[in-house]
Structure 1
Amino acid sequence: MKTLRIAAALALAFSLHVQAAEPVPQERPVGQAERVFVFTGAMPTGVSVSETGRIFVNFPQWGDDVPFGVGEIRDGRVVAYPSAAANRDFSSVQSVVADGQGKLWVLDTAAPGFAAPKAGGPKLVAVDLKTDKVAQTVVFPSNVILPTTYVNDVRFDFRTGTAYVTDSSLSGPGAIIVLDLASGAALRRLSGHASTSADPAFAPIVEGENMKVRNADGSTQAFTVASDGIALSADGATLYYSPLSSRHLYSVPTRLLRDPAVSEQQLAAAVKDLGEKGASDGLEADADGAVYASDYEHNSIRKRAPDGSWSTLASDGRLLWPDTLSIGPDGYLYFTANQLHRQAGFHGGKDLREKAYGLFRVKINAKPAPTR
């Protein structure tokens, strides 16, 4: 009997060994996301590729050791851009955008750690890419900056001399800020509108966990961030945007945004809800009429064709929180993956991020939307 029990145990062990050796089905990656750079220091948010292929990145003041807010990737490393001295004039940089016209624009929130923006601090700074010198500074007027404002991302249209900026407030109304680059005058549009506000029913699931603010004392708060991603159509006629705390894509005619004679009621009536696209941080548009969106719940990059249909360009377990998007002259869509959801503020004070952070790209065979 003992011999039989031993034989049975050996047979079971052998069976378990064979089962363990069998391949386990896994989720298939979609597309080919190529990692082109790794960041071993501070967490990046924005990336922008110039018309000549230069790659710029930025690092906000969110608690990491940030030696400089804006950098250029050169010879396998990130160097302060345009210089270490110039970076001392930046308070907390949320995004950088190469405008296709020879300049890199730096969006300074003047709100380190999401504090109230410093008076007269939020600004756009243009750097001439030929001379690597600051060429223009436009300070946002006080009529568009609230104590809760957090300027997040920007798109340019030099046919009208306009910059469109999202206010992605965490605690106040979101909005689209329309800035005249020549005069510095600005309008605050769709402030507090449903399309620029966090969706109250939104409950993101990232890496299998309901993402919310989790404080060290055990208290929690909903994850509520207003209008964030922004993209401008190739003809400059349509602005696309999305709250970070939402899965919906919205659009509005830019001629109405720019016209102060158009009332907020009239403007709101012109907003289109284009349906669900996934939960996005970054948006971008190409020259052929497509719109691209990150999907941070599914480690993915998605594409909206001109006919309104969606497809997934890349889905990969390495794409932990795909953030800002930028189309380069080489036909690639570049984006950062920065593990934003693993920050300490979402995990009771414990930082779960794992270095390095990544810069990725995926081939789209399209050019960036023109700005002129």
Structure 2
Amino acid sequence: MKTTTTMLGLLLGLSAPALAQGLETYAEFPKDTPPGNIAIAPDGRMFMSVHEFYGHALRIVEVKPDGSTTPYPTDAWAHAPQEDGDGLNGVLGLQVDREGILWMLDGQGENQTGRIVGWDTNTETLHAIHYIGQPAARPTSFLNDLAVDREHGAIYISDTGDGANSAIIVVDLDTGRARRVLEGSQFTVPEDTPMIIDGREVKLGGNPAKIGINPITVDPTNTWVYFAPMTANSMYRVRTTDLLDTDLSDADLANRVERYGDKVTSDGSTVDTAGNVYITAMTDNAIGVTKADGTYEVLYQSDEDLPWPDGFAMGVDGFVYATINELHRSPVLNGGEDASLGTYRIVRFPALSATVSGR
């Protein structure tokens, strides 16, 4: 199942981008299993959400070492609920913490409240459910991704919202309390930049796709949360202790946000022990990195091999794993038509520094 992805080309000039040569294809998937995000447990088990933009019934799978998949956590939980039974409505973000709890962000929709579902991958039992209702959520909320901080017993959610009200939602895992912070701030709302992929401007709901906060990750020491709007040229960070300080006003919190460095329009993110923030640069068909000195660098690029890189997970083997899913060709972002070619895969590459996932 594991092959090497290569791309031929000439490196011309001092600023020529890195090619996809050396990027490894870890697993490939059929048309009915377009990947969303991935999560890797401390024991190496891998889990993947099936992207809801393609309209398939399956929500979550476990990816086996041979690349095959099985519904997860159970067949019932891996599909939409039947009345009040087990099941997931639609999962994008997911992460396994250091205790082996798989946290799945089950987004809100018509007549359904967003929630975080925690599943114990050790005992294969339900661990917890935290609901994200109003006022922490808004009627226009789109719960996109999450970062788990077990050091402080918290989960940080990127709520893309309608763009104008994009925000971070902070969830206390001990009390279940959810708070909305940095709503409508310069750090969470999109910049006025068109999202152009393969020469076409991507549209969402008939309008140009300019999308607020999406990438969010916490560092391995649980000291900093890194985040950014999808449509933006800056990566930001804020201390976890500041996000958790309920005495800070939103204005005070905003004053503690730092611009970390440059980036391009991007979807997912993760960070290693050296402060390298990896991003899936889907408008460039690339995987890049915002370094600790604030500079941005393309690591891998291929129009053919990397159509919309999406989510990341840090492996226990020192590799960074990323999903590829052609999302700009999905019905939701392509005028209702599925134009995908079936380039659905997980790729991996060595982390730039020795890495232990922040959980």
Change (3 A) 1:44 1:368: same
| 8 Å CA contact retained: 1:285, 1:368 | no
Partners of 2:270 and 2:194 in 1: CA distance: 24
Which residue identity is paired with 1:212? K
In the TM superposition, residue 31 of structure 1 has moved relative to its aligned partner by: 4.5
Partners of 1:234 and 1:29 in 2: CA distance: 28
Q: Deviations over 1:200-220 (max 9, x none)?
A: x2112211223234x7xxxx4
The match for 1:340 among 316, 321, 327 is 327
Name the counterpart of 1:311: 297
| 8 Å CA contact retained: 1:141, 1:184 | no
What pairs with 1:68-87 in structure 2 (closer than 5 Å)?
68-74=58-64, 75-87=66-78
Name the counterpart of 2:318: 331
Partners of 1:76 and 1:236 in 2: CA distance: 31
Partners of 1:84 and 1:110 in 2: CA distance: 21
Unpaired runs of at least 5, structure 2: 1-7, 12-17, 82-86
Change (3 A) 1:306 1:172: closer
Name the counterpart of 1:39: 29
| 8 Å CA contact retained: 1:332, 1:366 | no
Partners of 1:158 and 1:350 in 2: CA distance: 41
Partners of 1:25 and 1:44 in 2: CA distance: 28
Change (3 A) 1:207 1:147: same
In the TM superposition, residue 142 of structure 1 has moved relative to its aligned partner by: 2.4
Name the counterpart of 1:204: 195
Greater share of helix: 1
Residue 268 of structure 1: SS of its match in structure 2? Answer: helix
- The answer to whether structure 1 residue 192 and structure 2 residue 190 are counterparts is no
Name the counterpart of 2:354: 366
Name the counterpart of 2:282: 296
- Who wins on radius of gyration, i.e. which is larger? 1
Residue 256 of structure 1: SS of its match in structure 2? Answer: helix
Partners of 1:25 and 1:141 in 2: CA distance: 50
Name the counterpart of 1:133: 125
Cα RMSD for the two superposed structures: 2.1
Bigger drift between 54-63 and 301-310 goes to 301-310
Partners of 1:61 and 1:294 in 2: CA distance: 19
Name the counterpart of 1:94: 92
Name the counterpart of 2:107: 109
| 8 Å CA contact retained: 1:149, 1:172 | no
Partners of 1:136 and 1:192 in 2: CA distance: 30
Partners of 1:80 and 1:316 in 2: CA distance: 31
In the TM superposition, residue 310 of structure 1 has moved relative to its aligned partner by: 3.0
The match for 1:253 among 239, 250, 253 is 239
Residue 242 of structure 1: SS of its match in structure 2? Answer: strand
Q: Deviations over 1:50-93 (max 9, x none)?
A: 12111110024334222x21110124321111111223421111
Q: Deviations over 1:124-179 (max 9, x none)?
A: 11111112221111112422111011111111112211111100124551101010
Which residue identity is paired with 2:27? F
Name the counterpart of 1:50: 41
Residue 255 of structure 1: SS of its match in structure 2? Answer: helix
Q: Count residues with an aligned counterpart.
A: 335
What pairs with 1:202-241 in structure 2 (closer than 5 Å)?
202-213=193-204, 220-241=206-227
| 8 Å CA contact retained: 2:97, 2:150 | no
- The answer to whether structure 1 residue 151 and structure 2 residue 143 are counterparts is yes
Partners of 1:148 and 1:92 in 2: CA distance: 16
Partners of 1:141 and 1:349 in 2: CA distance: 29
Change (3 A) 1:128 1:349: closer
User: Normalised by the size of structure 1, how large is the TM-score?
Assistant: 0.84
Name the counterpart of 2:5: none
In the TM superposition, residue 222 of structure 1 has moved relative to its aligned partner by: 1.6
Partners of 2:336 and 2:151 in 1: CA distance: 47
Which residue identity is paired with 1:324? G
In the TM superposition, residue 109 of structure 1 has moved relative to its aligned partner by: 0.3
Name the counterpart of 1:20: none
Name the counterpart of 1:10: none
| 8 Å CA contact retained: 2:276, 2:292 | yes
Q: Deviations over 1:181-233 (max 9, x none)?
A: 0100111000111211111x2112211223234x7xxxx41212211000112
Partners of 2:295 and 2:34 in 1: CA distance: 33
Partners of 2:9 and 2:296 in 1: CA distance: 26
Q: Deviations over 1:217-275 (max 9, x none)?
A: xxx41212211000112332221101112222111222221112111111112222234
| 8 Å CA contact retained: 2:262, 2:290 | no
Unpaired runs of at least 5, structure 1: 1-23
Change (3 A) 1:63 1:360: closer
Q: Deviations over 1:22-57 (max 9, x none)?
A: xx9668724521111112113221111112111110
Change (3 A) 1:348 1:93: closer
